[in-house]
Amino acid sequence: MYLCTIFVQYMKVVIAEKYKKYSDFILNIPSRFDDEDCEILKQKRNSVRLFLNEGKAFVVKRYKRVNWIQSIIYTFFRATKAKRAYDFAREMRHRGIETPHEIAYIETKEHGLFTVGYFICEESKGREVYEDVIERAEFDHKLVDAVIDHILFMHSKGVLHGDMNSANFLYTTDKEGNYHFEMIDTNRSHFCKGFPTEKQCLENIKRFTHRRDLYKYVIQGYASLQKHSLRITFQIVGNGICVIGIQVLDRLFKVCNRIIIFYESILYCGD
């Protein structure tokens, strides 16, 4: 529950109950976000930085400033990415999916219209799956098998992560070598009452990677666990399995990515 909502001039701040004691620090995040005394975690269309206050780590994501069309949409018709990130973190955990605990979100405004959003959460100690899968010539099959299991687990809980990119899977291992995952960048996720449809599940996995061998491995492994029919996704060729029209799909991926980026620039204010 967000039990602490603060309205100051040109700014709305919502803070989770257990973090109210950090209110003064959180209120000043927009003004000090570009300070040099914080660690830069990511610097792309959105910026992610790590702040320390009273010995506690705060991960802050600042979303790209919206254009005037998005400003109207997010002010009157649609929840901001910052608010959705906050709400969806709670919903994820409610459904048994681990994600860094939400601390607060901030919405800044100019002339009464939304401009920039901030999402603040706990720091995760997990490592990106991307680093140990995509960037290696031979990907870690055991880790990928665990990822496939986790994707199936999320789907069984009615969760369709909005950006199933391997970089959004953070993982740790316990003493027995078991993998444990935390999901980040959840603000575009969708939640179902029951198990998603086969089409929804397969569509959801598309963004995990564009690496051919890994993509085939994930789709095949997931379909095998779910006992999905592979007739739409794969063709049997001799003793092997190949993705239908893989060369065509590679080109379509690039075209679709451009379309998605253009669409999000209008409606979602960037990723």
Give the tens place of pLDDT for each residue, 76-116: 999 999 999 999 999 999 999 999 999 999 999 998 899 99
258 Cβ contact partners less than 8 Å away, ≥ 6 residues apart: none
- Give pTM, 2 decimals: 0.80
Relative to beta strand 11-15, strand 56-62 is: unpaired
Strand partners of residue 228: none
Nearest to 90 by CA among 80, 98, 82: 98
What does DSSP assign to residue 37? T
192 Cβ contact partners less than 8 Å away, ≥ 6 residues apart: 158, 159, 160, 200
Phi, psi values for residue 225, rounded to 5°: -65, -40
What does DSSP assign to residue 245? T
Assign 220 a pLDDT band (cuts: 50, 70, 90).
Answer: confident
Structure tokens at 94: 């409610």
What does DSSP assign to residue 139? -
> Above 50 in pLDDT, residue 244?
no
